[in-house]
Amino acid sequence: MDNYINFHTHKLSTQDGVITVYNQLLHEDAGIPKQLYSAGLHPWHADKLSAAELSRILDLHGSSSNLVALGETGLDKVCKIPIQLQQDIFELQLNKAVILRKPVIIHCVKAWEEMLEITRHYHIPMILHGYNGSDQLTANLVKRGFFFSIGPMILNPNSKIGHAIQFIPLSSVLCETDESDQSIQSVYNAARGYLKIKEPDFRRTIIENFVRLRKECEA
């Protein structure tokens, strides 16, 4: 059967049968991991690197064939970092993703309008990670062509995503464990339970989405 893909995790661990995309937080460590990874300056830490420093570090990562995506980056109105600084750092990473031809992993909390306005000008694949939006929000985001990375939230029987996932095209779904210790298998099982899809079909679909995501950038 096809491998699982854990599209976004902060834990450096490997597991047989799982393709893991480790997320490197650039304010903590600018080194280049020896496995598939994404790298970005998180909005919570947008004040920890200067624009020039971040740009230089991203260029360094751009030469690694293990780099799958930039991010997570984005907007978070619940954290204390000024929103203008978050926007500047977000746009810097979007611009860099265009140059490096990489998808962007987006963290968005209570800033959907602003996020949609900023990303309107970018024609690169973008993934909303740890996605847990309402039906209405999901329908709007689907029209804009985002990928949705579903995390352990879906294990909560009352999660919004458990209901909204039916509005997401199967071709836009990815799965992740993020900071949690839950297994990627449990996230897959919950997601495919809501979608009423057999395990082999779901595993194959996620692989296809992952491959397409990376190809869209090369085109």
Contacting positions for Zn ion (CB under 5 A): 178
In sign, the C-alpha dihedral spanning 65, 72, 130, 181 is: positive
- For residues 128 and 139, is the Cβ–Cβ distance under 8 A? no
Least distance between Zn ion and beta carbon 42 (Å): 7
CB closer to Zn ion out of 112 and 208: 112
CB closer to Zn ion out of 45 and 204: 45
Least distance between Zn ion and beta carbon 183 (Å): 17
- For residues 8 and 72, is the Cβ–Cβ distance under 8 A? yes
Residue nearest Zn ion by beta-carbon distance: 178
Least distance between Zn ion and beta carbon 23 (Å): 5
Name the residue with tokens 């490197």: 24
Q: From the CB of residue 64, how many other CB atoms can be counted at a distance below 10 Å?
A: 14
CB closer to Zn ion out of 4 and 131: 131
Report the distance separating Cα 103 and Cα 127, nearest Å.
7
CB closer to Zn ion out of 22 and 202: 22
CB closer to Zn ion out of 76 and 178: 178
Least distance between Zn ion and beta carbon 176 (Å): 8
Least distance between Zn ion and beta carbon 199 (Å): 25
Q: Where are the beta strands (DSSP E) in the chain?
A: 4-9, 18-25, 37-40, 67-76, 104-109, 126-129, 147-150, 173-175
Report the distance separating Cα 164 and Cα 147, nearest Å.
14
Report the distance separating Cα 106 and Cα 41, nearest Å.
11
